[in-house]
Structure 1
Amino acid sequence: MTTRGNDSAGMRITRLFARFIGSGYVFYLALMFRDITTQAAAMSPWWTWIAVPMVFGPPVVLGLASFRGDPTPMYRAAAATALLFVVAALLWPLAWDGTLLAADAWISTIPGLAGLAAALTWRPPWAVALLVAAVVPVQLINHYCRVPDRNGLFLPDLMFALSFCLIFVAAALMAMRTGRLLDRTRTAAHATAAAAAAAQSRSVQRARFNALIHDWVMSSLLAAARRTAREEVRQQAGLALVKLGESEPDDIEGYTTAMLIAHLRTAVADADDTLEVTVHTRDGARDVSFPSDPVRVLGAAVTEAIRNSVLHAGIDAMRRVDLTVEPSGIEIVVTDDGIGFDPAAVAPHRLGLSVSIVGRLRRLAGGTVDVRSRPGHGTTVRMSWRAR
């Protein structure tokens, strides 16, 4: 299967609440259907025909919209759910014919759900204000429209209803706030991990280049200074040039195809020095110069992909790396026949896959990544860059 961009934690929590609210309204509609039909006799017909769709229609849309990728319809349906409930409650006195009700008005049963819908789309002060606007009218309806023996003191009844509903609205607000905090913390952790990985990559390159200077360039100069035989000095210098061609300093601006291949082979060797890289060079790619950013990002990502395979694929897993170089792009594929995994089940805080591989390539202009794996069927990580 292929990894896909997932909702943030805050958005997942919001979608779950939207489905809970939509399901709650459907449940209450079935539960209160008898009361709705009975109490319709005490109301002008227009109110019931208008109020029922106003109260129960938007939350059904809310629940369905929570399954869409774009959250805008979901937020609009949540706002409509909250506001239209209040409108329906305010219209009640205009439609009531004066007949006292033997039970609570059906609309007074669910103001808390309207408050939950408000919590999905508005800031806490506005959500609480909507809850008050929903609870007060329906409590007034109950107090003045029920038979007298059903009534207690208005203020205690109102405060109980407000407190009861506020508990759930506050829990929803805190849950969504916690999701947003988790998203910010995860983003900061990803940025820190990416910065640390980039710094480590630069440090490794610098150390490798310094070692080459010491081991090959300096030894060549010393051989020349000691008046070593010219042929030996020439061979030593030739080897030094070859080694320098396999590495590069940090400030290099472009890579030839040979330098690109050397860099990616070195990146593979950093994780597994026994692993061979199969190179496919397309026509016209030999004389191309590639920018440094995609080469280094691909190098860091392929190192992490192989390291993940070594750690998780299993001790008997076989690996291969295929590099394809084209005039306008680079593709490197890491494949193993190990134990595999379910990419969708990988937790977002697992930085190896989400940051060091997927995150790197998705932040790179022209970069793409595709991770395919199934338990028991190995893993293929395909990383590529195309010039834009």
Structure 2
Amino acid sequence: MAAGSRAAAARMTASSMLDTPSHPRSRPLDRPRASRWRRGVVALSREKVSEGAADRILRRFGFAIGIAGVIAAIVELPEIADQGRFVPVQWTIVEVVLAFGLFPVLAVVSVGMGPRVIQRVAGAAAVSFLGAMAVVPVAYAAPNAEAASVWLYRVLALGVLAAVLAWRPPLAVAYLVVGAAFSALANLVVLRETTALALLGDFARAAGLSALFLWCVIYARAAAARVDRESAIESSRAAAVAGTAARERERARFAALIHDAVLSTLLDASRTGTESPVLRRQAERTLEQLDECRGAEIEPDRLDAQSAIGFLRSAVHEVNPGIRFTTRRWAGFDDLHLPVDAASTIAAALAEAVRNSLRHATVVGREVRRTVTVTISAGGIRVVFRDDGAGFDLSAVPVDRLGISVSILGRMRQLSGGAGFVESEPGEGTTVTLVWGGNG
């Protein structure tokens, strides 16, 4: 019951800390600004909670490629109808369904399904596209003298994009080569009167254009994977440092108890030849302290209020030692037990907020003031980073900018009991609020 009460109190306190201004000079937002801020935060917070950068980029590419397939089908419809005059209508329908049928499905599953489903649908779309090309020799029994190339030749990049989304780069490159060869042979079947040089040119053009799209997607996915790896390494490193610091604090506390209580009591006892009331009380107090130390729950993987403040201060000053760092604590209500991984997440998000400010908040002609305020109360912690720099419009931030959506808000959303908020307006500075309200 007591633990439940403390957890409820922590949540209530975290909520109240979010509603209470943390700086005496802070002023409430008026209604239009508040609504713009909320819209901006919502726009940046629509990511899946458990996804990393690699999964997010996969989801975005899947949706974009699926929509591109639908658009390509609409754009090519006049040419498909024109070339369909030379083949039975059922073969034209088969080709269109095989070439474009799975791309709308890819767009839909990219919105709400997992990465494996997205990759499987993308792989099926890539194979289906090759199937459409394989149908060409059967469908075009007679040559088409009016056509410059078969319509499938112009949309080979769709199949390549689906392939690179579904498979590893070597398989995607192999698909590109096979698809370019199929498209060149499809032109040979449709046109009949062509030369080897023209056939080689068709292959080179199809492969070259598709290779550009292939490289862009491979590079983007590799960059996202590097972001995930670096984030995991930094989190593990910060957790290890914080855990070591916690264990060192316990050793120092025990060493201080031995020196200040046990050894001093023994020394006084050796110097005092007779019974002394003062010595008796000192010995009783030492025994009580030892008993408390033995019976206390030692949590080397959790940080108390003082340790958490020091940990966050170090994270900020590693980025820029000139940033003002202040703390607020209330005696009797600062019984913080912050898990090391939670402290690492908050520190990483805070450091990213500081770096973003240093990169983008500069104002020509004056010095930008930056402050960090840490408030600890009833098992929760609230960290506010504020600058009076250039500011920006949250709703205008592109969705592919990972600094805010992933490195700050995304980290805090993934933290159990955590939340993150960003408030900014052009010319009025930026405020980043990080809250952890669980006493775990």
Normalising by structure 1, we get a TM-score of 0.72
Is contact 1:267–1:300 with CA below 8 Å preserved after alignment?
no
Between the aligned partners of 2:306 and 2:246, the Cα distance in structure 1 is 12
Is contact 1:22–1:60 with CA below 8 Å preserved after alignment?
yes
- Tell me the SS of whatever aligns to 1:215: helix
- Tell me the SS of whatever aligns to 2:111: coil
Question: Which residue of the partner structure matches residue 199 of structure 2?
Answer: 154
Is contact 2:65–2:107 with CA below 8 Å preserved after alignment?
yes
- The equivalent position to 1:333 in structure 2, one of 380, 398, 402, is 380
- The equivalent position to 2:419 in structure 1, one of 358, 371, 374, is 371
Question: Which residue of the partner structure matches residue 37 of structure 2?
Answer: none
- The equivalent position to 1:321 in structure 2, one of 377, 380, 387, is 377
Deviation of 1:201 (Å):
1.2
Is the alpha carbon distance of 1:338 and 1:42 closer, same or farther for their aligned partners in structure 2, counting shifts above 3 Å? same
Does residue 383 (structure 1) correspond to residue 430 (structure 2)? The answer is: no
Between the aligned partners of 1:337 and 1:153, the Cα distance in structure 2 is 65
Q: Deviations over 1:311-355 (max 9, x none)?
A: 99x869683511xxxxxxxxx333578869x9x9646557x995x
Q: Deviations over 1:253-309 (max 9, x none)?
A: 9629xx99xx8566578688972355699xxxxxxxxxxxxx976488579969999
Question: Which residue of the partner structure matches residue 38 of structure 2?
Answer: none
Question: Which residue of the partner structure matches residue 276 of structure 2?
Answer: 230
Question: Which residue of the partner structure matches residue 7 of structure 2?
Answer: none
Where in structure 1 do 4 or more consecutive aligned residues deviate above 4 Å? 1-4, 147-152, 241-246, 263-274, 277-281, 299-309, 314-318, 335-340, 344-350, 376-379
- The equivalent position to 2:116 in structure 1, one of 46, 50, 72, is 72
**Higher alpha-carbon deviation: 158-167 or 26-35:** 158-167
Flag structure 1 segments of 5+ consecutive residues without an equivalent.
282-294, 323-331, 363-367
Deviation of 1:178 (Å):
3.0
Aligned length: 344
Deviation of 1:89 (Å):
0.7
Question: Which residue of the partner structure matches residue 251 of structure 2?
Answer: 206
Root-mean-square deviation (CA), in Å?
4.4
Between the aligned partners of 1:269 and 1:178, the Cα distance in structure 2 is 33
Matches within 5 A, 1:252-267: 255=297, 264=304
Matches within 5 A, 1:1-388: 5-100=49-144, 101-146=146-191, 148=193, 153-227=198-272, 230-241=276-287, 248=293, 255=297, 264=304, 275-276=329-330, 278=332, 298=339, 301=342, 319-322=375-378, 332-335=379-382, 346=404, 354=411, 368-371=416-419, 373=421, 375=423, 380-385=435-440
Deviation of 1:141 (Å):
1.9
Identity %: 23
Is contact 1:111–1:134 with CA below 8 Å preserved after alignment?
yes
- Tell me the SS of whatever aligns to 1:153: helix
- Tell me the SS of whatever aligns to 1:172: helix
Is contact 2:305–2:334 with CA below 8 Å preserved after alignment?
no
Deviation of 1:234 (Å):
2.8
- Tell me the SS of whatever aligns to 2:102: helix
Is the alpha carbon distance of 1:270 and 1:220 closer, same or farther for their aligned partners in structure 2, counting shifts above 3 Å? farther
Between the aligned partners of 1:187 and 1:65, the Cα distance in structure 2 is 28
Deviation of 1:372 (Å):
5.4
Deviation of 1:41 (Å):
0.8
Is contact 1:275–1:319 with CA below 8 Å preserved after alignment?
yes
Deviation of 1:215 (Å):
1.9
Is contact 1:267–1:302 with CA below 8 Å preserved after alignment?
no
Deviation of 1:32 (Å):
1.1
Give the AA of the match of 2:280.
R
Between the aligned partners of 1:184 and 1:304, the Cα distance in structure 2 is 15
Between the aligned partners of 1:37 and 1:337, the Cα distance in structure 2 is 61
Is contact 1:139–1:158 with CA below 8 Å preserved after alignment?
yes
Is the alpha carbon distance of 1:116 and 1:128 closer, same or farther for their aligned partners in structure 2, counting shifts above 3 Å? same
Is contact 1:302–1:334 with CA below 8 Å preserved after alignment?
no
Give the AA of the match of 1:108.
Y
- Tell me the SS of whatever aligns to 2:329: coil
Larger relative CO (CA 8 A, sep 6+): 1 or 2?
A: 2
Is contact 1:103–1:150 with CA below 8 Å preserved after alignment?
no
**Higher alpha-carbon deviation: 34-43 or 376-385:** 376-385
